Structure 1
Amino acid sequence: MTKTRKKRLSLALINRVLIMYVSCGSLDNARNVFDEMSKRDFNSWAIMIAGYADNGDYEEVIRLFVSDKFRYIMYSCGSFPVSWIMVCVLKACGETMNVELGEQVHGWLMKSGYGGDLFVGSSLISFYGKVGCFEDGDLVFDQIGSRRNVVVWTARIINNCKEERFREVFEVFNEMGKVGVRKNSFTLSSVLSACSKISDDGNCGEQVHANAIKLGLASKSYVQCGLVNMYGKFGLMNDAKRVFDMNESRRNRACWNAMLTSLVQNGCLVEAIKFLYQMRAAGVQPQELWLNKLRSLCGSEVIEIK
């Protein structure tokens, strides 16, 4: 075996060690190995960038990305699928509000032929929404055209929610149906959040609920929580209770708290107190905000419920 072959195997093996540490959440150990490597390839850098992104250390993602050594490797290795690394970097740019770098990444992606990548497109829309550049996000959405998938559509919906264009959220939702894009639970929960802020007595929300039932997604935890919250906002407590009781095995903490919030907001105080005992029996901790609100309205009998 040649010396060059041994070096390649050695580098590949070290990269596997990096993957092992990152997968186990041992980023400090991974970084120690990374810093001691005499030679690194694209995969070495990519593993560390992805690891820090998954761990929420977005400043370190950016520091690694802007390193001259990594930029040289990236620009010289056109055969590697760099788009997923750019997705990590775009998320980091959004979380750190680094608009300038995010725009540079966008320009590089377009120049390098990744403009048609749907994964990249949805990440760009999310980035622009995070930093408040909604028009740029809309432009990316329009440029993708008829190839849009559910992730791209949902990114557009989330941006509209952030910009408080709630009516437009519902219009985009309907447009998805017209072009035959199947919604997922994240799409529906985002749209339900917008519907709860549209003054129409819950009509839009009821249409989304019907669509969720048709798609078999009404019992998904995100959707269930969104429905309880939406019906509660309009005082439709019978509907909220019906949804809450629909699938006991999939209730999460958010759904329990949405139901408690709906009861308190609609003045159902006796039911809210009883509901707190149900939450305690289920091992669910109520949100302190609404627990304190109930204490102030009902008196000391609620204080013991924790």
Structure 2
Amino acid sequence: MMTKEVATVFKDGVGMIISEQLCVSLLSKCKNLKSVKQIHALLFKTGLHNDPLVAGKFLLHCAVSISDALHYAHRVFLHFPTPDVFMYNTLIRGLAESESPHSSLQLFIQMRRKSTFVPDSFSFAFTLKGVANCRDLKSGMQLHGQSLCFGLNTHIFVATTLISMYADCGNLNFAHKVFEETWQPNVVTWNAIVTACFRCGDLEGAEDTFKRMPIRNLTSWNVMLAGYTKAGELELGRRVFSEMPLKDDVSWSTMIVGFAQNGSFDEAFGFFRELQRQGIRPNEVSLTGVLSACAQAGAFEFGKILHGFIQKSGFLQIASVSNALIDTYSKCGNIVMARLVFQSMQMRRSIVSWTSMLAGLAMQGHGEEAIQLFNEMEDSGIRPDGITFISLLYACSHAGLVEQGSAYFSKMQSVYAIEPAMEHYGCMVDLYGRAGKLQKAYDFVRQMPIVPNSIIWRTLLGACSIHGNVELAELVNSRLTEMDPNNSGDHVLLSNIYATAGKWKDVANIRRSMAEQSIKKAPGWSMIEIDKVIYSFVAGEKPDEFTDEVHNKLQEIMWRLRAEVGYVPQVRSVLHDIEEEEKEVSVSKHSEKLAVAFGIAKLAKGKMIRIVKNLRVCSDCHTVMKLISKVYKVEIIVRDRSRFHSFQDGFCSCRDYW
């Protein structure tokens, strides 16, 4: 449609005034860089490319409305003979929200050096936003000083942005000072200082400020909701939600997303159902929020229902919703459905779409397919980013593709000029460590150009646990003790290594040290969805009326495995030197075993069992899942902390490489 309209203008040669109106009208319909270039060609054809009004609107559309046209806007700006303050402000605004927000400050400085230009309130507000996005407190304070020189520090727009900037940079005291010096702050300014309190972790200050507000609008209430839920204070958020005089789609979305992000998946689903009962149409945010809850909880059945609703309501055309669907199906273990959604997107695929699909394949251990998909992405003209390479390296790691992973790590730097972040180094340590190349992994860590953090060392400790390397584990643990002495997972990993090696004295020393420092092991939990309801089981929890039935069913299953396939519990890594019978009882209470027993008891015969677990599945549970799939003729999908395991007919999709 765009091409046809532009062609008509070229053919008819419309007059100057009509062309200006038509250009602005056509510009509002531009959705991508290709159509932007067509409009630019039209401006040259009609001689309007140097018209300040049209050029300004063109620049605004490129810099703000089109996601991939900022670089084009910058080029247009550089070639415009006499850019005005509006044009400077427009480009500063675009750069402030870009991946290089500090560039907005550089452009502001360039504008200031030209004495003919006097910065206005928008100049300062947009530049302050850029400074806030790169957390540059020093430059923010200098801009604050300059705003004083121009008498704009008390301007309500600038003052509000200053409050937000100081909060983003972690200086709540300065934010409060700006607020106190603001003459007649409006409701937007009050909302900004409440938000500042939340961002700096001052929940009491936020509540006190909220109570003192002379006027509150709907945004004020939504700020409180977002602040409490992001801080994990769900009950306080629920209280505010119940007290709200009016709720909009943002309010509902905030509750859905907030509860989902804090692991309260059933409550997130409940808010979504209530939203529908109230007759409110879900929006993009609420849908992606509830899909996120499905993804994290592994709620496949609820996700399928949402998919149907999304398709009927036309939301499937929104890229972010489709991307969330890909993520949901991937994390629920159904890579086939994820693929179908991905393929249906075609021209709407973004870098997020490709990366989500890559991550899904990686979690399933489909390394070769992930590499093939990455090649397709390159061929389609999509440039991979750092997150894409994390998913690709992760896929190589979980499929044992050491040489390919190393090659892509090099390509990331040499071809795409992407500087490796800590996550990329972590993937490489995992790649070598998982493959048993522990010395190479250790040498890689020592040669890193940036100081390795505790996650890097913990990844290496996990590899030592998998391959039983006690000597290197002790060396790695000494580094972790210096960096993060109270992490329970590190103590448990080292205890497992000692227990597997039969070093019970060392196990006892670690357990004593944990007790003395009041370090408690994080409990293992597993979740399973039955009839669209999420049930959770915790390892070693005391039986009650509900779990009694589950424990009895599990005993029946274990007896059958012993009788029919000769199952013998693997108790090498039980943390203390106790009798074999007690060890067997200990491993039998792992949460994934309870979840699968519940699934067998409640689901129809032959129906797939899907389990989500917070920790890495142990070797005994892995063996039990394989045997259950064979004896009970059922497919079991377990998503543990690092990947998916699909158990069928006595085999696992990971090929015992996890």
User: After TM superposition, is the score higher than 0.5?
Assistant: yes
Paired residue for 2:252?
45
Is it true that 1:205 corresponds to 2:405 in the alignment? yes
**Greater Rg over alpha carbons, structure:** 2
**For residues 69-88 of structure 1, what are the structure 2 equivalents within 5 Å?**
71-74=278-281, 82-88=283-289
Give the C-alpha shift of residue 268 in structure 1. Answer: 5.7
Alpha-carbon distance in structure 2 between the residues aligned to 1:300 and 1:101: 46
Is it true that 1:289 corresponds to 2:490 in the alignment? no
Alpha-carbon distance in structure 2 between the residues aligned to 1:32 and 1:217: 45
Alpha-carbon distance in structure 1 between the residues aligned to 2:332 and 2:448: 37
Alpha-carbon distance in structure 2 between the residues aligned to 1:68 and 1:258: 42
Distance 1:109 1:39, change over 3 A: same
Alpha-carbon distance in structure 2 between the residues aligned to 1:185 and 1:242: 23
Deviations 1:35-92 (A, max 9, x none): 23344332332222222223221111111111166651226xxxxxx11210011122
Distance 1:132 1:238, change over 3 A: closer
Of residues 134-143 and 216-225 in structure 1, the stretch that sits farther from structure 2 once superposed is: 216-225
**For residues 152-301 of structure 1, what are the structure 2 equivalents within 5 Å?**
152-198=353-399, 202-214=402-414, 215-217=416-418, 219-237=420-438, 239-247=440-448, 249-263=450-464, 269-283=470-484, 285=487, 286=490, 288-294=492-498, 296-297=500-501, 299=503
Q: Secondary structure at the match of 2:263?
A: coil
Is it true that 1:36 corresponds to 2:243 in the alignment? yes
More helix by share: 1
Give the C-alpha shift of residue 273 in structure 1. Answer: 3.0
Give the C-alpha shift of residue 224 in structure 1. Answer: 0.9
**For residues 55-66 of structure 1, what are the structure 2 equivalents within 5 Å?**
55-66=262-273
Equivalent of residue 15 in structure 1, options 222, 246, 253: 222
Distance 1:298 1:281, change over 3 A: farther
> Which protein has greater RCO, CA pairs closer than 8 Å, 6+ apart?
1
Q: TM-score, normalised by structure 1?
A: 0.79
Q: TM-score, normalised by structure 2?
A: 0.40
Paired residue for 1:3?
none
Give the C-alpha shift of residue 141 in structure 1. Answer: 0.4
Distance 1:66 1:236, change over 3 A: same
Alpha-carbon distance in structure 2 between the residues aligned to 1:97 and 1:276: 33
Give the C-alpha shift of residue 171 in structure 1. Answer: 1.5
Distance 1:293 1:11, change over 3 A: closer
Alpha-carbon distance in structure 2 between the residues aligned to 1:51 and 1:266: 39
Q: Secondary structure at the match of 1:182?
A: coil
Question: Gapped runs of 5+ residues in structure 1?
Answer: 1-7, 76-81
More strand by share: 2
Give the C-alpha shift of residue 129 in structure 1. Answer: 1.8
State the superposition RMSD in angstroms: 3.2
Q: Secondary structure at the match of 2:391?
A: helix
Give the C-alpha shift of residue 211 in structure 1. Answer: 2.2
> Which amino acid in 2 is paired with 1:104?
I
Alpha-carbon distance in structure 1 between the residues aligned to 2:439 and 2:297: 43
Answer whether contact 1:141 1:152 (CA < 8 A) is retained: yes
Paired residue for 1:78?
none
Answer whether contact 1:273 1:302 (CA < 8 A) is retained: no
Paired residue for 2:352?
151
Q: Secondary structure at the match of 1:164?
A: coil
Give the C-alpha shift of residue 283 in structure 1. Answer: 3.6
Distance 1:102 1:224, change over 3 A: same
